[in-house]
Amino acid sequence: MREKPKLDLGLTAYDELFKDDKEIREGRLPKIYDIPIELIDEFPDHPFKVRMDEDMDQLVESVKERGLITPITLRPKEDGRYEIVSGHRRKKACEIAGLSTVKADVREMSRDEAIIMMVESNLQRSVILPSEKAFSYKMRLEAMKRQGMRTDLTSAPVAPKLGERSNLQLAEQVGESKDQIRRYIRLTELVPELLDLVDENQIALRPAVELSYLTCDEQKMVYEQILDCDCTPSHAQTIRMRKFSEEGRLNEAVIESIMQEEKPNQKEKIHIPLGQLRKYIPETVSYDDTRDYIMQALEFYQKYRTKVPQTPNKNFPGKAR
């Protein structure tokens, strides 16, 4: 005979009738366990980086002196191991401090519940890279979609009015607009080299979004041109690149032509052909060391000018001393 399902009528359990208030409160608190670090696996596709910086050094020292104050959160796996949901930096600090176990709150939760909790906990950090926001927002919205919520945040850069649901919910939680969330999600379409430049503040968000619509090969050509000309494209330039790409006309020559255009806010540069400079540079100085050699020569010349009286020269804007 099949067992009848148990109904939750909201009544007090029989054994709780004989507990005092303190025992009831303690029973509802999360139970903290000492879990061997070797049994803990990383969260799959975790978008947040664990940086080995000064904050990590301080956290390691704190763990050594006082132990782990705030337990990490784990999710049990079917193979008997654990998946870390919250506390990746704390776990790393415990490893560096030489601990074999870590205090953890072990919770049963679905994959999507774990994703949502992982994103929410990490968005409390004081410094979050654009790439971290990009992949965490995307993971969070995909989890909401699987839970039956609307996630239409990956289309055009200028958003139409969208329905109330996950998009507005996430926007309110993280303090971003719907459009800004969409822009960050577009960054997940960038090749790693360009995404690193965004994290390093060398490419702004709007130009990066436009570049995300290029193919991978086109993005790599843009990156190579950035290295060659030592500058990054403006928003207007990336809009043109995207247009050429959509028309199937974007190639290396077009990218080079666009990148070599002088931008309104671009600082003036002096271009001297290497052939004109080569006669002043010893053959032992390689091409890669040429810039450093020129800078050292100019510094030496400047020191010389401050020591020796100069006479006016119509071809040189120096002043007589």
| Residue labelled with tokens 């790693």 | 192
pLDDT digits (tens, 9 = 90+) for 113-150: 888 888 888 777 767 889 988 998 888 888 877 766 54
176 and 206, same domain (yes or no): no
Tokens found for residue 48: 């947040």
Domain span at residue 292 reads 274-307
Q: How many domains does the chain have?
A: 4
Distance CA 132, CA 140 (A): 12
Report in angstroms the alpha-carbon separations of 117 from 56, 114, 298: 22, 5, 57
Between 290 and 274, the more confident residue is 290
| Residue labelled with tokens 């100085």 | 285
Q: What CATH number has the domain bearing residue 46?
A: 3.90.1530.30
Q: DSSP readout, 197-223?
A: HHHTTSS-HHHHHHHTTS-HHHHHHHH
pLDDT digits (tens, 9 = 90+) for 140-194: 888 877 766 544 444 444 443 333 466 666 666 667 788 888 899 999 999 999 9
Distance CA 202, CA 224 (A): 14
Which amino acid, 138? K
pLDDT band at 21, cuts 50/70/90? low
**Is residue 164 one of the residues assigned to a domain?**
yes
For the entire predicted model, the pTM comes to: 0.61
263 and 297, same domain (yes or no): no
In the chain, the percentage of residues whose pLDDT exceeds 70 is 72
DSSP 12: P
**Is residue 20 one of the residues assigned to a domain?**
no
pLDDT band at 223, cuts 50/70/90? very high
Angle, helix 216-229 to helix 252-259, in steps of 10 degrees = 40
